[in-house]
Amino acid sequence: MAADPVDSRSGGKDLRESVTVVVVPRERFSYTRQSVESIRHNTLLPFRWVYVDGGSPRPVARYLRSASDRMGFDLVRRERYLTPNQARNLGFERVDTEYVVFVDNDVLVEPGWLEALVRCAQETGAVAVGPLYCIGLPAGTTVHMAGGEASLHRKNGVLRLHELHRHQNLPVAQVEAHLVRSRCELIEFHCMLVRSSALRRLGPFDERLMNTREHIDFCLTLRAHGHDIWFEPASRLTYVAPPPFAWGDVPYYLLRWSDQWSRSTMRHFNAKWNLEDDSAQLIRNWIRPHRRAVFGRAPGIARRWLGRRLGSWVTRRVIDCVERCVIARARGKGAAPIERRPHA
């Protein structure tokens, strides 16, 4: 790491005492090594580091133990699967710095990513800051979100959620000139800097949000309390979305995106914010297709061999059966939601 930088705004305080990075599982484990090495090699600003490992397969667990010894990060291991918000709450229990940065375990960061987030928070007074999120490989080429919008609007007597990811799926080169530091309404937990004092006042992340909407919930809560959220394009990272999968990823991935967890999450989120229940639409249009990426090209191959109609029927039945069996077994290893004081 580079020489220890000093924050002139804090009376010469060493920034090592200012920021903790908390890494948590997102949806798989097989990208752990690449992500850890990315953070290690592309972070010049000294920081404290907490890694929350929820039920990773033995090879990944062994790597994390070894990496923890070599790199000096605090490893929090649970033998059961954790929801992302459970993992964030566990990690935050170890935080005593001014800022905490939550990072998913499947991202590649670019040099200067952490410095830019902290600088933005210091210069704007922001309570939360998000980077430019890219998606897919090669890293840093396609925008996932450049700040976003999230607000509640009443239409025809019904309260609805408006959500927008700016510049989504556009080439970074195409929108580079439009990427400027600015206030926004929405950032994501792929990477999010938060002032620790604000998070302590708001209380733990809502663990009844098991697999989706947790970033929207937190950003709505921040803004409801009058806090600013900023987008900082000088900080950049890439979410490396699956596939591919390792065998050890499959149980957690299917459980993480299961219909049961999704329905429970959406019903709670909608009730919390007085929204119309749209869980069926979200599951049909996004959750289920995302979950079934684990089966790769098998459905297409079956349709080519058996014909479109028969192949679709067979694959649907087989996939449904496999999902039920794997999810039922994974559920025994999955951590149940823990009731804690909500944000709002």
Tens-digit pLDDT profile for residues 264-279: 999 999 999 999 888 8
Q: Among 38-47, 231-240, 243-252, 316-325, whose mean pLDDT is lowest?
A: 316-325
Question: 251-260, pLDDT tens digit by residue?
Answer: 999 999 999 9
Cβ atoms 171, 141 nearer than 8 A: yes
Indicate which CATH number applies to the domain containing 170: 3.90.550.10
CA 271, 272, 276, 282 torsion: positive or negative?
A: negative
Query: Which of 169, 139, 145 lies closest to 238, judged by CA?
Result: 139
Are 189 and 132 in a shared domain? yes
Residue 341 within a domain: no
Write out the two tokens for 150. 């999230």
Residue 203 within a domain: yes
Are 88 and 229 in a shared domain? yes
Write out the two tokens for 136. 């897919």
Write out the two tokens for 316. 């649907």
Distance (Å, whole) CA 300 – CA 297: 5
Average pLDDT over residues 236-249: 96
Distance (Å, whole) CA 49 – CA 247: 28
Are 268 and 288 in a shared domain? yes
Domain tally, the chain:
2
Residue 340 within a domain: no
| Mean per-residue pLDDT over the chain, rounded | 90
Question: 145-182, pLDDT tens digit by residue?
Answer: 999 999 999 988 889 999 999 999 999 999 999 999 99
Where among 239, 265, 282 does a domain terminate? 239
Average pLDDT over residues 82-95: 97
pLDDT of residue 331: 83
Residue 339 within a domain: no
Are 105 and 230 in a shared domain? yes
Are 93 and 62 in a shared domain? yes
Are 182 and 257 in a shared domain? no
Q: Give the global pTM.
A: 0.90
Predicted confidence (pLDDT) at residue 100 exceeds the cutoff of 70: yes
Are 185 and 297 in a shared domain? no
Are 134 and 279 in a shared domain? no
Are 112 and 171 in a shared domain? yes
Residue 75 amino acid letter? L
Are 320 and 215 in a shared domain? no
Domain containing 280 equals 247-331
Residue 102 within a domain: yes
Where among 190, 214, 239 does a domain terminate? 239
Write out the two tokens for 281. 């639409």
Residue 337 within a domain: no
Cβ atoms 44, 235 nearer than 8 A: no
Are 167 and 312 in a shared domain? no
Predicted confidence (pLDDT) at residue 12 exceeds the cutoff of 80: no
pLDDT of residue 202: 96
Are 210 and 254 in a shared domain? no
Strands 148-155 and 158-165: antiparallel
